[in-house]
Amino acid sequence: MSDKATINGGCLCGKIQFTATPADTTVGACHCGMCRKWGGGPLMTVDCGTAVRFQESEHISIYHSSEWAERGFCAHCGSHLFYRLKESGQYFIPAGLFDICDNFIFDHQVFIDRKPSYYNFAEKTNNMTEAEIFAMYAPKSE
């Protein structure tokens, strides 16, 4: 798989299928409290920008998890489908949902200062703190 290839994926029960064109083949882990509560551990995603198309989208439930982001999941099986920024529509899709993911590379972690001490990854990654992420994505106060 080369960069900018369109790849397919879907949820556990198969009711929701999607195509996405990831920005690249990198995977990031989010250690924020919401992601850990949502999935029981870090959320490992691929940045797909806005290039995501869902089939059977009536089976998608949306949870507005913050002022600036929302999370989508399958209403039937509960699979986590995406984390989406409300303003830009940028999708972060869990890496495990893709049919082909052998060429993905784990290269960054966010909310690294919120990672609990009971796990560590062996890969050397680029790391960002909560403050750095909020500076990049949170809505600016006027």
What is the dotted CATH code of the domain comprising 7-137? Answer: 2.170.150.70
Q: How far apart are CA 128 and CA 26, in angstroms?
A: 15
> Which pair of tokens denotes residue 62?
């949306």
* CA end-to-end span of the chain: 43
121 closest CA partner among 41, 61, 52, 46: 41
Tens of pLDDT along 106-128? 999 999 999 999 999 999 999 99
pLDDT of the residue at 134: 86
Q: Are 77 and 94 in contact (CB under 8 A)?
A: no
1 closest CA partner among 100, 127, 138: 100
Q: What is the mean pLDDT of each run of 10 residues along the chain (142 residues)?
A: 78 97 94 96 97 93 94 97 96 96 95 97 96 82 60
pTM for the structure as a whole: 0.89
pLDDT of the residue at 38: 95
pLDDT of the residue at 2: 46
